[in-house]
Amino acid sequence: MVGGLKWGMDTQTRLKYLEEQLAKYKPKYLEAKRKFRGVRHENSLSELRYTEFMVYKDMVEGLEREISGLENRNGRA
């Protein structure tokens, strides 16, 4: 089970779920990106913001890749 969704589920259900997750996390990623100003040396808040930014970035990029792959397999692109 990945992301609360079994791999055996049909593609359309999975695609809908991934699009919902993207709609949920992309605004959080964009807000973290807007706030991020680089990592200052020995600044805990700066390091936490960097970590938050990178987590959301990876989540959004991963969701976009998986959605694109599903759409290409189904000819929906």
**Domain residue limits at 58:** 11-74
pLDDT beyond 90 at 42:
no
Strand partners, 5: 2
The predicted pLDDT at position 76 comes to 58
Please indicate, yes or no, if residue 4 is contained in any of the structural domains. Answer: no
Please indicate, yes or no, if residue 42 is contained in any of the structural domains. Answer: yes
* pLDDT band of 74, cuts 50, 70, 90: confident
Per-residue DSSP letters for 17-57?
A: HHHHHHHHHHHHHHHHHHH---PPTT-HHHHHHHHHHHHHH
Per the structure, how many domains does the chain have? 1
